[in-house]
Amino acid sequence: MTLSDMYKMGRAVFDEVRDIPYRVSTYPGDPAPNCSMKAKLLLERLGVLGFTVRARMAEMDWADTLIPPEIVALSSKEDLLTHLYIEVMRDGQWVALDASWDRGLEKAGFPIANFDGTHSPAFPLKKVFDVEEQGKYTHAWLAPPDYIEEHYGEEHVFERVAEDDYVENYYRRNGPFLKAVNEWLAQVRRG
């Protein structure tokens, strides 16, 4: 496969993943096509094509997006909000690729990313986590609280995420907001 063919296939993969209608998870285990799912799809598919890719995680705030303020007001202010996107190596430089927002949201002014890296990341980011912080955050979601305390200490920035009931409480606190986001995005697509 030539480099030109690889880029054509990469662009097609990116466009396909990007244009899956974005939706946030509204309950634990909800397989929603959100930033995380789309980033994972891109990591897998572009990696298979031979691209050098990596995941990036960052802190974000829904108030910095085009979601209406009255919907954002429904969200809990006590949760660390993160965004997952990927970077691809091009000409020795990491280029952000974020397939979060789908073309159906373009008419509302959402920045629709392209494979060349324009409009990426899709969300305004407050802080991009380094590799160590990404690992700690992932462990905090997946590991039991005693593991977090033992390996990262009591002052761990992501310790609260590791609480036994954190995920359930997150969805309980944010359920109305998450549902309203999905409803509003669907309405935008319908025009």
pLDDT in tens, 79-88: 778 899 999 9
Given a contact cutoff of 8 angstroms between Cβ atoms, the answer to whether 114 and 101 are in contact is no
Predicted local confidence at residue 157, as pLDDT: 45
Any idea where the domains of the chain sit in the sequence? 3-190
pTM, rounded to two decimals: 0.84
Residue 162 has pLDDT above 60, yes or no: no
Mean pLDDT across 57-70: 93
Predicted local confidence at residue 133, as pLDDT: 74
- Interaxial angle between packed helices 145-152 and 131-142, expressed in degrees from 0 to 180 and rounded to the nearest 10: 150
104: which residues sit within 8 A by CB, 6+ positions away? 19, 21, 188, 189
Cα-trace Rg, the chain: 17
Which tokens in the block code for residue 21?
Answer: 């209608």
**56 Ramachandran zone, left/alpha/beta (phi>0; psi -120 to 50):** beta
For all residues of the chain together, what is the average pLDDT? 85
Write out the E strands in the chain: 53-60, 82-90, 93-97, 125-128
Q: Residue 33, SS3?
A: coil
